[in-house]
Amino acid sequence: MPSQPAPSYKDSHGNVVFYTMPYGEKKDTLYLISTCPVDTSLTLVQSTLTYHDIYNQANAFALANSNSCTNILLQVFDLMKQKKWTEAKFLWVENLPTYTKLARTDK
């Protein structure tokens, strides 16, 4: 479980700035294409969890229920802070209720 929100970076106008993930990705033989909804939603989560009070509330909720989606989101957020974009996307996608793992059976 992550221990703290992402550090805030501010531009010359005092606006909070954070790095966003690149679109698409590849993991082993799996490719994520047309990932705009995933990338956009995770960027919004990243933006929201950058605020200490929201992060602290999410962290408290995740500690109270380790099986919650909030717990997964905090793990994804931690990967995003480390710029591990591919791992973050796959962790989130693989934990969606409608996720079905695709596997090749011809090997």
Q: How do residues 58-75 score in pLDDT, each as one tens digit? A: 999 999 998 888 999 999
Q: Which two tokens stand for residue 72?
A: 């997964």
Q: Is the pLDDT of residue 77 over 80?
A: yes
Q: How do residues 79-101 score in pLDDT, each as one tens digit? A: 988 889 889 988 998 888 777 76
pLDDT of residue 48: 87
Which of 97, 95, 96, 6 lies closest to 49 in space, CA to CA?
A: 6
Beta strands in the chain (DSSP E): 9-10, 16-17, 25-27, 30-32
Percentage of residues of the chain with pLDDT beyond 90: 22
Q: Is the pLDDT of residue 4 over 60?
A: no
How far apart CA 99 and CA 94 sit, in angstroms, is 6
Percentage of residues of the chain with pLDDT beyond 70: 77
Provide the mean pLDDT of the chain.
79
More confident residue, 6 or 79: 79
Q: Which residues have CB under 8 Å from 37's CB, separation 6+?
A: none
